[in-house]
Amino acid sequence: MKLLAAIILLCAAATASANPFPGGNAQTGKVLFDKYKCNSCHAAMLGGDGSAIFTRANRKVHDAGELIEQIKICSGNVGAHLSAQDEQHLGAYLNRYYNIK
């Protein structure tokens, strides 16, 4: 019985700490997003403030790996040299649209 309780506790702890961008801070991500004018192209493509690109029906990103990959591609477009840490920040920020667990 004790063992079962311990297993349940362990599982709960693992779920609670499951964060796809453990090194990221969403607020810092927002600052970077604005600094690099990330939505400038997206807005030109889709209108509005551009964030519709993250919620469009056929969006490309479905998991954390794809999100980091797209952040790399897009930051390359603007010649921004993001650190792995910056990518985590942007991932944490953009996860408000993707809700990746």
Q: How far is the CB of 19 from ligand HEC (least distance, A)?
A: 18
Decide whether 6 or 48 has the Cβ nearer to ligand HEC. Answer: 48
Q: Which residue has the tokens 């794809």?
A: 66
CA–CA dist 11, 78 (Å, integer): 42
Cβ of residue 47: shortest distance to ligand HEC, in angstroms? 14
Distance of alpha carbon 70 from alpha carbon 67, whole angstroms? 5
Is 3 or 41 the residue whose CB approaches ligand HEC more closely?
41
**Minimum CB distance to ligand HEC, residue 81 (Å):** 11
Binding residues vs ligand HEC (CB under 6 A): 33, 36, 38, 40-42, 53-54, 59-61, 67, 70-71, 74-75, 77-78, 80, 90, 94
Q: Radius of gyration over alpha carbons of the chain, in Å?
A: 17
